[in-house]
Amino acid sequence: MSKSARKSVLPADTHGYEFCGPPGAFAAIFALPVVCYLAAFLCNDVSGCPVPSILHPQSLTLAELKNEAGWPQDGLQGLVSFRVTGYVLAYYLSSLVLQAALPGLVVQGVQLRSGGRLEYKFNGTYLQGPDFALWTFIWDNYVQLITVNLGIAFCLATFVYCRSFSIKAGNKHKRELAAGGHSGNIIYDFFIGRELNPRITVPVLGTIDIKAFCELRPGLVGWILLDLAFVVHQYKLYGFVSDSIILITLFQSLYVFDALWMEPAILSTMDITTDGFGFMLAFGDLVWLPFIYSLQARYLAVYPVQLGAVGIAGVLAVQGFGYWIFRSSNNEKNRFRTNPDDPRIAHLNFMKTKSGVKLLTSGWWGFSRHPNYLGDWIMAWSYCLPTGIAGYVVRHGDMVDGQGFVSRGLVKQQVLQGEAKGWGMVITYFYVFYFTVLLIHREMRDEEACKRKYGDDWEEYKKKVRWRLLPGIY
């Protein structure tokens, strides 16, 4: 592509680095996958959560750590399985086929900078869950599943990055570059995403929007499949299913079902309207979301926690309160953008910017500039609280003395908290602390994007809606 042609497809507005620029992108690309493996190995059903040797760093040896973590006997080769790869690719293909074959609603996205709108097909949720063999397969091949999905994320990010250089100005397919994805730094652009809405046409299946598909299909559904596999594993180990793992699975299933039921709502999110599709979203959708967000259920599969009536009521209250804020604020915004005359939101106040865009200044969006983030954050606590004061150690064979939880079957194993009590919270509560950082960072990105988009109008809007997330605090 010539320099003049390249300039013609670049967005007119300038866009600085985010995520600490190329160094931050480089660190994220290589460090975040390591975090997924660390969570898998350092909290396990072999020795405990966390592995006991970590609690005694002065005597820690690599050999002991590898043994307690369940490191594959054949080393790095054990992280990969051709059989698992085949099954995961079949799962992705089946998701594509179902999205293409099932009837659905065709919805137009937001206005693109280059003009026009893209169309998206949404067809809600569908049932997956053949038999218990699937759950056993997931548990037995957990680490290999991480590897396969990580490989797919890298391949997708590489494919869309290379393909983005074929974009031409005024193309009939409405392809365009993301405002923040063409810095010229290979590592940063690969991470953040160069093309805004990469699409491919597959024979029989038709047009596939890669970003929307990854946002709504493999990762979200995979998250619940992992949760269900962990529920089944707990039952197979102990002969019962704890109220805590049922609650977490129901909460997270509600979250996923809500996302699939309200699919068109993603069209106004930052992921779709602003971010390019690169390693950040590919890895986040396909690896980080299913394998990190399900850590609590994986923990409870090995160490059951019974909450009782009072505990259940408390967790339900947290979840219900958060969900009410999250869904009602998102519905309010979506209705205002799609049908301002809707009687449910017609009474709300707003200010009109110089560009003609209307910004809500009452209702949920007068309460704070990002009330949906607040609801999401509150719900995050309900995923972690059922694990209690987390931490456990695993005993095998002659060490089993009848305390704690003793597994059924020929091979006995005993799980009790012991000296690990409290230390497991680093893993089971990691989600809520990570989510706090994520939402604050995303809120800051939203602020910068709105400041660039609306200019002085955004400063005026901030005077009307003072608080970012929680009035009086932030």
Which helix (H) or strand (E) element contains residue 405? strand 405-406
Distance CA 65, CA 80 (A): 20
In a 3-state reduction of DSSP, which class is residue 414?
strand
CB-based contact 199:159 (threshold 8 Å):
no
Q: What is the DSSP letter of 389?
A: S
Q: Which neighbouring-strand residues pair with 105?
A: 122
Distance CA 343, CA 296 (A): 41
The 3 state secondary structure assigned to 40-83 is HHHCCCCCEECCHHHHCHHHCCHHHHHHHHCCCCCHHHHHCCHH
> Residue 265's pLDDT is what?
78
Q: Phi then psi for 155, rounded to 5 degrees? A: -65, -45
Q: H helices within 349-429, ranges in order?
A: 364-367, 371-384, 425-428
Contacts of residue 9, defined as CB under 8 A and 6 or more positions apart, other chains included, come to: 167, 168, 169, 176, 177
Distance CA 460, CA 38 (A): 46
Count of beta carbons in the 10 Å neighbourhood of residue 398: 7
Count of beta carbons in the 10 Å neighbourhood of residue 130: 7
Q: Which neighbouring-strand residues pair with 413?
A: 396
pTM confidence score: 0.72
CB-based contact 248:311 (threshold 8 Å):
no
> Residue 8's pLDDT is what?
55
Mean per-residue pLDDT pooled into runs of 10, the chain (474 residues):
56 71 90 92 90 89 91 91 90 79 69 75 46 76 93 94 88 84 89 90 84 88 92 88 94 87 79 86 93 94 94 93 90 82 84 85 87 90 94 76 60 82 94 90 85 87 87 81
* Three-point CA angle 88, 296, 434, nearest 5°: 90
Q: Which neighbouring-strand residues pair with 120?
A: 107
User: 144 vs 37, 40, 219, 383, CA distance in Å?
Assistant: 10, 11, 16, 25
> Residue 131's pLDDT is what?
41
**Cis amide bond preceding 50, omega within 30:** yes
Q: What type of residue sits at position 33?
A: P
CB-based contact 72:78 (threshold 8 Å):
yes
Contacts of residue 402, defined as CB under 8 A and 6 or more positions apart, other chains included, come to: 414
CB-based contact 433:441 (threshold 8 Å):
no
Tokens of 104: 């659905």
Burial 408-417 (b: 16+ CB within 10 A, else e): eeeeebbbbb
CB-based contact 294:252 (threshold 8 Å):
yes
159: Cα separation from own chain's centroid = 21
